Amino acid sequence: MFSTFNFSGEGVGVELNADMRAITNPSFLIHHHYYHPSLASAVLRSLRHRLPVFSPSLIRVRAQSTSTSTSHAELDNVRTGRSGSLASPPTHLDVTQKIDVNPPKGTRDFPPEEMRLRNWLFQNFREVSQLFGFEEVDFPVLETEALFIRKAGEEIRDQLYCFEDRGNRRVALRPELTPSLARLVIQKGKSVSLPLKWFAIGQCWRYERMTRGRRREHYQWNMDIIGVPHVTAEAELISSVITFFKRIGITSSDVGFKVSSRKVLQEVLRRYSIPESLFGRVCVIIDKLEKIPIDDIKKELMSVELSEDAVEELLQILSVKSLTKLEEKLGSSVEALADLKQLFSLAEKYGYSDWIQFDASIVRGLAYYTGIVFEGFDREGKLRAICGGGRYDRLLSTFGGDDIPACGFGFAAKGKGTYARTQPQVQNIVCSLDQDLQGAASSVAARLREKGQSVDLVLENKPLKWVFKRAARVNAQRLIIVGSTEWQKGMVSVKILSSGEQYEIKFSELE
């Protein structure tokens, strides 16, 4: 029934025939002794030499069969011990391999101290979003690949984690949230009333070169307004991000916003009769300013059919840092100028004009932006763009839907040490002074939890010195001690850890 078994180790290649396999796995021999006694006896009689000895950790097994009807299924069952198998797995091939304890490159773990920081950050994201009247949504981490490759030339196409699933469908881990948002808006259609004010906090993936504070997976906060064509929407979004910064103690001397409009770039290209089809590719190149040498920028621009004069004019416009100079170069009738003036006027009304500044070089790298764009930046220059967004009035049509005016931003929550550290905190720590009172301590903890209080219950019989150290580490407000004498009277001891005040109280009155 079975022919040979190929074993290979490091620098070793040996073929063992069926008699050696029988000895190596007794359960295999027992099975054939029961069903094929003559074969089993023949196998035993055929042994002439000792088995070669291999270290189990160096052995890999591959089974071959001459029978087309039973061999693969039977051998698989014998080897793997699957449900319904005839024999258990061979014990000598059980290998415990030491795994790499680090997460995959570009990803990270969240131990308690990091998870507290993340929760604190997400809580602030949610509270600010709700303060501005936004509703929370979410989308699958896994999306159809086509959702992210509608626009050629975008850097993001080369950064996708994409693959073919078992249904032969091309899928990708989402690199951003906006396309998923657009898909959901199209799906909902007229069943939702405009304007929509939605926010999301989700994990995103990009296979890109890692730099300081930049990994291949990160969490992102998005806020989007769907259905408002006016600059009032962008002003509201910038106000929400600034409100977040203020809540966590960051000021306009720490962070600023660079603002421009895609329409500025469109106007320059129109004057040089550059086709509209090249607009997205030019934006991607311009977005590399300050990332690669200016000579490389010029070469890339000329490679997409821009003349040398057009490149020089474009770079001059992109160096402009004030609306007054922009008006001098483009004229007062340009639509982009009117939008930008209105935005800066609204910034004064909101009270955040000291946070924003005009910078014509800001275009954003994603091809779907159509109007005002903005980026949050670190004034010390230590970090890349902290957040960014803008108007994308024509995104939905790229997915087959009807265009609806829209704008939004993405805020990537990444980079260690960017925000203040948070400390663990529980309201109570409960311990018993005797192992026999562990059940009583559990009753105390259960009562407090029913009243909505957080409790760290000491689960072992520990000395008070250990308990006090534990209380300090978790920043407990109260220590509740269950002692034998007090418990017999229906009482517990309470110590207020901030003041040192200590008293006894009836268990039934514990709040």
User: Which value, to the nearest 10 degrees, does the dihedral of the CA atoms of residues 153, 337, 132, 258 take?
Assistant: 60
DSSP states of 206-255 as a string?
Answer: -----BTTB-SEEEEEEEEEES--STHHHHHHHHHHHHHHHHTT--TTTE
Q: Is 224 marked as a binding-site residue?
A: yes
Q: Is 488 marked as a binding-site residue?
A: no
Instruction: Identify the burial level of 369 via C-beta atoms within 10 angstroms of its C-beta, where 0-12 means exposed, 13-18 middle and 19 or more buried.
Output: buried
Judge whether 335 and 263 are in contact, CB under 8 Å.
Answer: yes
Q: How far is CA 163 from the centre of its chain?
A: 18
DSSP states of 123-185 as a string?
Answer: HHHHHHHHHTT-EE----SEEEGGGG-SSTT-GGGGG-EEEE-TTS-EEEE-S-SHHHHHHHH
Tell how strand 406-413 and strand 428-432 pair up: unpaired
Q: Is 177 marked as a binding-site residue?
A: yes
Helix-helix angle 262-271:323-330, to 10 degrees: 20
Q: Is 323 marked as a binding-site residue?
A: no
What is the Cα–Cα distance from 326 to 43, expressed in whole angstroms? 92
Q: Is 364 marked as a binding-site residue?
A: yes
What is the Cα–Cα distance from 255 to 419, expressed in whole angstroms? 13
Q: Is 368 marked as a binding-site residue?
A: yes
What is the Cα–Cα distance from 510 to 428, expressed in whole angstroms? 12
User: Which value, to the nearest 10 degrees, does the dihedral of the CA atoms of residues 411, 416, 420, 423 take?
Assistant: 120
Tokens of 463: 């000395």
What is the Cα–Cα distance from 25 to 56, expressed in whole angstroms? 13
Q: Is 187 marked as a binding-site residue?
A: no
Judge whether 345 and 337 are in contact, CB under 8 Å.
Answer: no
What residue numbers does the annotated binding site cover?
A: 176-178, 206, 220, 224, 364, 368-369
Binding-site positions for L-histidine: 176-178, 206, 220, 224, 364, 368-369
